[in-house]
Chain A
């Protein structure tokens, strides 16, 4: 029942996302074909592009054709290079996923332990330092954190490459930029969540029966405390995907985010449209999976609903 309800709302949202991305090109002030090709283009070229994009047909028919093409995995063609967009995605999308996954790992590896540490030292100076440094500084936007990390580690210390994708170490700075942001949220959530659990009766029981503090925290408290973290990680996957737009631009990482920015600069609207669509779809899908996973991980949610 839950799954059916979830899937039907999922379908509506997907439809809305498709409609909105489809309409994007129609929001271009004036004639989108003229904006894309520039004023000097010949009228033959313009008519050709207009026909290619189907812009000469009624809106409903255009939307139908758009959906029909999409269902066959056809995202259209770039106006400038004439390459099918799906081909571009084949190299760009994995690059972004790789970056996002590494950031996710960094975020969890930093955020959860720091949150646990802060919760165990609650109201001590260590807690305040962790909360202040990790939560505040790491929550700075990517376009701030990225250049700062670049300045420190690439320019001043010279440990890591400034940008590009040539060496294996190139991924570290962009991944840290995104990972720090995630770790800030995870630190805060882990801390709050663990503090709540630590007051529960069963923790007192565990302590009373003489378990070591380590066993109490790791085996009893943390297991329950980490449940809400699943949802947070799922939700944050979305901001990670959006954050890649800026981070990839800063570090010249050839992912889908940079493709989006490049396509905007070149006014290659079909590519822009496709990038927005793919990122949004990934986000919606990750959220759906998170929701379902959470149900399986926490029996209480299943029962109460």
Chain B
């Protein structure tokens, strides 16, 4: 499983680098090649504007990786800070912060991200803002739960009675114990942000034409499914391989780091 997952990830990373080296142009329009099937001139066929599906897939996965890494880092920083505050201080601060996360959790799945993306307007930056506004909640909940337990551990109390400052207690004595659980959470969140980005782009709320994105390609693929089924099939299989690989990687890390998750 581990080998399978990592080889898929390495395959995609290598493909992206190779695509950059060969200077494949994802926006090269060729009206004679519209929706053509895979052939020597178009290894994976061409889309509705005669652009190479291969080149667009590679650019799409690049953007997808970038978005999910940036959003994961932002949401993790914000969520962990809020979670630490709530868990460390407890009391009123905790109650107010958790009430706020409860409200965010009252919106199922990506509904809130859809709503934010809708009012902010489409585009890459707004997409990342929408995903960040809604993504920090899970980190905050997770960190808060852990910090609440760690706050009264002997070593933290000992540090406190020795006069350690609050930041020192948080960063030296609590945060390091959260590392493995946060690493695992981050892996899953990479996959879920990737899915969310593709969902929003699929709905036309994310990355805009002519920029390549897997979600938008999948939507176009559905549109031309009757005349060019290879389009939707290729994008679909690529997406599947990537999501599977990341999730398998997450499972592997979870077992390896022995993190217990309650779902």
Contacts and interface: CB of A to CB of B under 8 A. Distances in A.
A13 interface: yes
Contacts of A195: none
A279 interface: yes
A28 B111 contact: no
Given A155-B225, A280-B106, A143 B218 contact: yes
Nearest to B194: A141
Given A136-B244, A144-B240, A264-B118, A151 B106 contact: no
Given A25-B119, A136-B244, A265-B204, A280 B232 contact: no
Q: What does DSSP make chain A's interface, helix, strand, loop or mixed?
A: helix
Interface in B115-135: 115-116, 118-121
Interface size class of B (residues with CB under 8 A): 35 or more
B108 A241 contact: yes
Interface in B197-233: 198-199, 202-205, 215, 218-219, 221-222, 225-226, 229, 232-233
A207 B218 CA distance: 52
A109 B199 CA distance: 27
Contacts of B205: 264
Q: In terms of DSSP, what is the predominant structure of the interface of chain B?
A: helix
Contact of B115 (A16, A24, A142, A239): A24
B100 interface: yes
Given A151-B229, A242-B108, A245-B111, A272 B118 contact: yes
Indicate the member of A144, A151, A265, A280 with the most B CB atoms within 10 Å. Answer: A144
Contacts of B203: 245-246, 249, 261, 264
Interface in A12-32: 12-14, 16-17, 19-21, 24-25, 27-29
A147 B236 contact: yes
Counting chain A CB atoms within 10 Å of each CB, which of B100, B106, B205, B243 scores highest? Answer: B106
B230 to A, nearest CB: 10
B171 interface: no
- Number of contact residues on A: which range applies? 35 or more
Given A24-B115, A29-B120, A140 B240 contact: yes
Contacts of B239: 144
A13 B198 contact: no
B246 interface: no
Given A143-B199, A147-B218, A264-B205, A12 B99 contact: yes
B102 interface: yes
B106 A140 contact: no
Interface string A249-293: 110000000001100110001001000100110011000000000
B147 interface: no
A9 interface: yes
Interface in A207-251: 238-239, 241-243, 245-246, 249-250
B137 to A, nearest CB: 12
Given A27-B119, A246-B199, A269-B119, A283 B108 contact: yes
Contacts of B233: 151
B109 interface: yes
Contact of B225 (A150, A264, A279): A150
B195 A272 contact: no
Contacts of B112: 20, 276
B53 interface: no
Contact of A151 (B118, B120, B225, B247): B225
B11 interface: no
B55 interface: no
A239 B225 contact: no
Contacts of A269: 119
A148 interface: yes
B89 interface: no
Nearest to B122: A264
Interface string B88-110: 00000000000110110011111
B106 A283 contact: yes
B114 interface: yes
B259 to A, nearest CB: 16
A167 B167 CA distance: 63
A288 to B, nearest CB: 11
A16 B102 CA distance: 9
Residue from B99, B100, B107, B116 having most chain A Cβ neighbours under 10 A: B107
Interface string B156-185: 000000000000000000000000000000
B109 A29 contact: no
| 9 nearest CB pairs, A to B | A16-B103, A242-B109, A238-B108, A242-B108, A264-B118, A143-B202, A283-B108, A276-B115, A27-B119
7 contacts: A16-B99, A28-B119, A245-B110, A250-B222, A261-B204, A280-B106, A280-B107
Interface of B: 99-100, 102-103, 106-112, 114-116, 118-121, 195, 198-199, 202-205, 215, 218-219, 221-222, 225-226, 229, 232-233, 236, 239-240, 243-244, 247
Given A141-B243, A276-B115, 20 more contacts: A12-B99, A13-B99, A17-B106, A20-B107, A136-B244, A139-B247, A141-B199, A143-B198, A144-B236, A150-B222, A150-B225, A241-B109, A242-B111, A245-B111, A246-B199, A246-B202, A264-B205, A265-B204, A280-B108, A283-B106
